[in-house]
Amino acid sequence: MIIDLDEVRTPTLAPQYDVCIAGAGVAGIVIAKTLAERGRRVLLLEAGGEYFSERSQDVYRGAVVGHEYFDLDVTRLRFLGGSSNHWGGWSRPLDAHDFGKHAHIDGSGWPIGFDDVNAYSEATAEILGIEPVPRDKPVAGSAGDLNEIFFRRSQVWFKDKYGPLLASSENIDLLLRANLLDISLDPTTGRVATFQIRGYGPDDPMLEARAESFVLSLGGLENPRALLNANKQRANGVGNENDLVGRYFMEHPHFDIGHYFVDQKRTDLGRERRIMAPSRQFLTEAGIANCGIRLEVVDPVTRVSLLTKGRAQLSGAVCKSNNLVGLVKKVRPGFRCRQPFEDVLKAVKKLPLDGAGLLRTASEQVPLSSSRVLLADETDQFGRRRLALNWQLSPLDKETIRICGLAVGRYLAEANIGRARLFDWVLDPEAGFPGLDDGEELAGNHHMGTTRMGLSATDSVVNANCQVHGVGNLYMAGSSVFRTGGHANPTFTIVQLALRLADHLAAS
């Protein structure tokens, strides 16, 4: 049943549901659907309607106070289906490596393993309407450093695929335009007693949703905001006794890092898009985070332009080579061409490079305590404090990109199928990251880590079952629970974890 609070201001809700879920995006819909199929009574709250509206989207406005980032009301959508209404559909599970503890990445090591989520891969693929994701394939000629990796492209928009089911299910009450304004705790048990919700009208009554268990599935930015704003009974917010809610915000940085040039008689690269990633052994030995390197195909005009420019740059490199290669033995000042002109021409001509493309990374960001979501002073139309995002990147994030770019370049040269040139900022240890003004994609709109999973309340917000430490019946769903983010788009893992949480809730 669907109830729209714009039409029914005081709906008749069940006195007690089995589970109340705030947020009808990917995670919320999967949990609601799974629980309903098992006979559980579910109240699903969606703050938006069935379509985009300025009024709802305005609640997402916030401040960006750290590294440059997208406007917070643009990076996500606040209506039924959530961000699945504008996602690209790229689907791939995290690697087994991503769940492990690695000495060079502080705070790595999930309390659950790859097998715990992999058990839900088949069901996840079915929900996303995709075939199973093919296994990684070692890249021949890369000396075991690189794997070719694969994604599937989901065409599922959750509102369209699962909306009718939500409407017809006897076990689901879906409340539209229901804004979660507060979380009330039972003062005796410390468990959640009610979710306080309200429609948009200034005189709309405050409604109380009661359930055995409660789930927040509002996305990686709103999940911490809901906990931090619930500060009437807990001064620092619910579940925030250790000042961890909102910290460890992670993204998947996306950057153009250079160009590749190939001999198309020897390879399909340049004609076909390929994605590579460092092997597990390479990641460990290099001491870097995970990374996907996309060898993007460009249109014919751009290809010609890249080749022309590339040959000119290569000539410049050959000129400088007498100085730079000599650095190993002796530093020579000056950058004027020290090679005879005919030698430069010969060197450039020797390389039969007739294909070209863009090297782009989508990398893992290591968790950083200072990278965080905070409450701003400004309030929204409901008097709840808005978000401030302080996104921070670390030197290891830069190093990950540099090492991965070099690995692909080395592979092309060693296999003698092409050469690569990396941009100056990638190789310059003093240079920062480029920004949106430089035409960069910047990041994936993937908001992770802000209520991260762990064994102890001293270093995490939720436990291995996604339950908020110290609040027995409150659970978090979505990528906010990611301990580390890997490099794969998060939706596949979000669905796996949602199915796992639904299993847990159904069993409890």
Partner 1 sequence: MRMLTRRVFLRFWTALAVVALGLPQGSRAGARRDEIILVDGWILRASDLPKDAR
- Tell how strand 90-91 and strand 62-64 pair up: unpaired
Contact 46, 175 (CB under 8 A): yes
Give whichever of 109 and 432 is closer to partner 1, judged by the CB atom.
432
Cα 449 to Cα 480: distance, rounded to the nearest angstrom: 5
CB of 342 to partner 1, least distance (A): 9
CB of 390 to partner 1, least distance (A): 27
DSSP conformation class of 81: T
The pair of three-digit structure tokens given for residue 489, joined into one six-digit string: 């788009």
Give whichever of 25 and 258 is closer to partner 1, judged by the CB atom.
258
Cα 97 to Cα 109: distance, rounded to the nearest angstrom: 9
Angle at 276 between CA 270 and CA 281, to 5 degrees: 150
Give whichever of 4 and 343 is closer to partner 1, judged by the CB atom.
343
- The interaxial angle of helices 300-324 and 341-350, nearest 10 deg, is 130
CB of 415 to partner 1, least distance (A): 9
Residue 158 CA neighbour count, 13 Å, CB half: 29
Contact 261, 419 (CB under 8 A): yes
Give whichever of 117 and 318 is closer to partner 1, judged by the CB atom.
318
Give whichever of 143 and 376 is closer to partner 1, judged by the CB atom.
143
Give DSSP secondary structure letters for 393-444: --HHHHHHHHHHHHHHHHHHHHTTSEEEEE-HHHH-TT-----GGGT--EE-
Residue 379, number of CB atoms within 10 A of its CB: 12
Give whichever of 45 and 314 is closer to partner 1, judged by the CB atom.
314
CB of 398 to partner 1, least distance (A): 12
Cα 327 to Cα 410: distance, rounded to the nearest angstrom: 20
Contact 507, 492 (CB under 8 A): no
193: region left, alpha or beta (phi > 0 left; psi from -120 to 50 alpha): alpha
CB of 294 to partner 1, least distance (A): 17
User: What residue ranges bind partner 1 (CB under 8 A)?
Assistant: 143, 258, 313-314, 316-318, 320-322, 324-328, 331, 339-340, 343-344, 346-347, 350-351, 406, 409-410, 412-414, 416, 419-424, 427-430
The pair of three-digit structure tokens given for residue 152, joined into one six-digit string: 């599937």
CB of 137 to partner 1, least distance (A): 20
Cα 307 to Cα 404: distance, rounded to the nearest angstrom: 23
| Residue 147 CA to its chain's centroid (Å) | 21
Give whichever of 344 and 462 is closer to partner 1, judged by the CB atom.
344
Residue 122, SS3 per DSSP: helix
Q: Count H helices and E strands in the chain, helices first.
A: 13, 21
Give whichever of 340 and 395 is closer to partner 1, judged by the CB atom.
340
Residue 177 contacts by C-beta under 8 Å, 6 or more apart in sequence?
4, 5, 6, 46, 47, 48, 49, 56, 199, 200
State how far the alpha carbon of 142 is from the alpha carbons of 94, 136, 169, 414, in Å. Answer: 22, 14, 52, 8
CB of 359 to partner 1, least distance (A): 11
Give whichever of 123 and 143 is closer to partner 1, judged by the CB atom.
143
Give whichever of 314 and 505 is closer to partner 1, judged by the CB atom.
314
Give whichever of 300 and 429 is closer to partner 1, judged by the CB atom.
429
CB of 318 to partner 1, least distance (A): 6
CB of 321 to partner 1, least distance (A): 4
Give whichever of 420 and 442 is closer to partner 1, judged by the CB atom.
420
